Each structure stands twice: as C-alpha cells, then as structure tokens.
Amino acid sequence: MAGGEIFQDTRNQLNRTIILYMGPIRGGTDHIYRNAFTRHFSGFDLAMAPFINCINANKITRKYVHGLLPESNTGMPVVPQILSKSAEGFSHLANYLADLGYGTINWNLGCPFPQVANKLRGSGLLPFPDIIREFLDAVIPALRGRLSIKTRLGREHSNEILALMPVFNDYPLEEIIIHPRTGRQMYEGTPDLSAFGDCLALSRHPVVYNGDLRTNEDFIRLSGQFPKVNRWMIGRWAMVDPFLPKVIKSGKDDIEKVDKIKKLRAFHDDLFEEYARTLYGPAHLTDRMKGLMVYFLTAFQDSHNALKKIKKTRTPEQYSAAVTQFFDTEARWGC
Ligand SMILES: Cc1cc2nc3c(=O)[nH]c(=O)nc-3n(C[C@H](O)[C@H](O)[C@H](O)COP(=O)(O)O)c2cc1C
C-alpha cells in the first residue's frame, strides 16, 4: 500500500513500521499543497485527498477530477476520497478514479458539518448500519479498486460505531481510519481513546488512528497506548507544523528555530507562486493564502496581531507586505 519512506520504530521497543498519512483538509491539502509539501518537507508516506462529491456519471470528466489526475500529483502517493450516500454514484466515480490508476478509494463517513450530515452523508450516515450495509453490498462488487473508510465514532453518540464494526468486518476493506470523536462534537473536547481501543479490538481490518496528534510526545504516548497500530493520520497539526511528520519518523527535533522559520517561509513563498499561477484572480489568491496563514501562524508565539493584520489585507500586494513584515521582524517559532 504505502510507498515512500519506511521507518522502524525502536523507541518503544516495538520494532514496527510507522506509516504516516497526510490527512485530508478540504480547502487546505489540495494537490498544489501536497506537491509543494514534498518539495520542502518529508515524513509522510501518502496523502488522503480531500473529498470530492458524486455527480451524474456522464458529467465525470478529467476537469472534474483535475486535482486527482496522476500528472497533478507528482509528490507522494494519494488516496482519493468520495463523499456520497449513493452506491451507484459512488461506484461510477470510484471506477473512473480506479481507471486513472488508483488502487484504493476512500469513503467519507466522518464529515461532521450539518449541511452534509443532515443529508445523510458523512457522519450523518453513522446511526444507520443498515443503510451502510446496503451501500457496501452494492459498491464492493461494483468497484474495480479497493475500498477504505474514514469515520468518526458516531454522529450523536460514540457507541454508534459499535454497531458498525461488525458491518465493516463483513466486507473486504483495505483499512478503516478512525477519528475518535462524534460528528456533533465537531472538533470540541478530546478524542475518546477508550472508544478507539474498543474499535481496534473489534476490527478485523487494519485501523488507522487520526485525531489531535500535535507533537512527537503525543505520538509516543498514543503509540505506547496502542502498540498494534502502525498507521497514523495527521490533519490540521501538520498544516500548523509541517516539520512534525519527519520529527515523528526520526524521533528527533533537531532543526534550529531560525531555520524552521526560513524553511516555512520558503514553503509559503512556493505556495504563493503556485497559487498565483493556478488560481483565477487576485481575490482567490489572497483568500487561499490567508486560509493557510491561519494554520502556519498557530506555530508561532504571539502571532495574534500579525494574523489580524494579514486577514485584513485585500490584495495580493497588501497580503505579501503584511507577510513580509511578519517574517522579517516578528516571527518567533514555538507553539
Ligand atoms: C477545514 C477542515 C477540512 C476537512 N476536510 C476533510 C475532508 O475533506 N475529508 C475528511 O475525511 N476529513 C476532513 N477533515 C477532517 C480531518 O481530515 C481530520 O480527520 C480531523 O481534522 C482530525 O484530525 P487532526 O486532529 O489530525 O486534524 C477536515 C478537517 C478540517 C478542520
């Protein structure tokens, strides 16, 4: 499955391979970001792409799946993700992607946003094991590739997953990625590690842990608690600290803070140039970069005022001036 760098973790005397996934962040980890990431950083073995929606089978074109075309993804291996409750729509789109060369397609069963979940998509499907079984009954035989699932513990309650694990066990899934929160929780509270442990015990499929892996210390604690898990997904916190995957893989954080700032700045500038080249119009460019800076600035000390200033900018020129001032005079690494 995963390509890229393989690392034997002997720190916990576990002697097992760590596989790190870049988590999907819609509006964040698109193909431009993923490609740029691999030019500046390392540590991830593969990326799951943010979801795409199903559309009418005859409307699926190369333009529609542009960000998933193999030639648009020159960095690390990618798993595409689809958000859908329609087995037919899912199968058409998944097979289109399989024909582009993707061996595994992921089904999004975790999206918590009410506008998605209220329509029985993403985490909205989690209280309905029968609908999920029907979907899998139809999709599994129709798929030309393999299926993986990314899920939360439930929509309303963390025990909804207990009724789902036996359903998942009945199908030949590649793996199950679990973010141990409910949809209702969104990102509040802490991941329910006890419920994650229950899922692990119940699953006959490989399980990937995802949620609140912010530091190497988090990784050491969680990998000690779940010694059978060797697949880990990091979403928001690798956008905040893109050095994190490599630090986890190597077990050491040996880049000087001033060098981290330089490297992050180079990554930022690369992204700015790429988005300037590919996005349509200056407003899209500033909006996209401001969205990224919300993550980047979280890794810096006392960056609140800088972020406020950057958010107020209206043009790429104003944006660049504010970012230059930040990096030149204010940037102090250390979240
Ligand atoms: C803005 C935003 C967009 C996201 N988009 C997706 C998505 O497209 N597909 C998905 O499965 N998860 C998506 N997620 C969830 C993340 O992949 C991940 O499961 C979640 O953030 C918890 O992991 P983390 O604590 O490592 O970020 C998104 C999260 C955020 C905050």
pLDDT of res. 197: 98
For 181, counting Cβ atoms within 10 Å of its Cβ (0-12 exposed, 13-18 middle, 19+ buried), the class is: buried
pLDDT of res. 8: 54
Whether the Cβ atoms of residue 91 and residue 142 lie closer than 8 Å to each other: yes
CA of 186 to the centre of ligand 1 (A): 10
Q: Is 288 in the pocket of ligand 1 (CB under 6 A)?
A: no
pLDDT of res. 7: 54
Tokens of 279: 């996005």
Q: Is 241 in the pocket of ligand 1 (CB under 6 A)?
A: no
**Digitized pLDDT (tens) for each residue of the chain, 335 residues in all:** 344 445 555 455 444 689 999 999 999 999 999 999 999 999 999 999 999 999 999 899 999 999 999 999 999 999 999 999 999 999 999 999 999 999 999 999 999 999 999 999 999 999 999 999 999 999 999 999 999 999 999 999 999 999 999 999 999 999 999 999 999 999 999 999 999 999 999 999 999 999 999 999 999 999 999 999 999 999 999 999 999 999 999 999 999 999 999 999 999 999 999 999 999 999 999 999 999 999 999 999 999 999 999 999 999 999 999 999 999 999 999 96
pLDDT of res. 14: 47
CA of 329 to the centre of ligand 1 (A): 32
CA of 243 to the centre of ligand 1 (A): 19
**β strands within the chain, DSSP E:** 7-9, 16-22, 46-53, 78-83, 104-109, 146-154, 176-182, 207-210, 231-234
pLDDT of res. 33: 98
> 224-228: long-range contacts (C-beta < 8 A, 24 or more apart)?
224/12, 225/193, 225/197, 226/196, 226/197, 226/200, 227/12, 227/14, 227/16, 228/200
| CA–CA distance, 146 with 207 (Å, rounded to integer) | 15
Q: Is 234 in the pocket of ligand 1 (CB under 6 A)?
A: yes
Q: Is 245 in the pocket of ligand 1 (CB under 6 A)?
A: no
Judged by DSSP in three states, 116 sits in helix
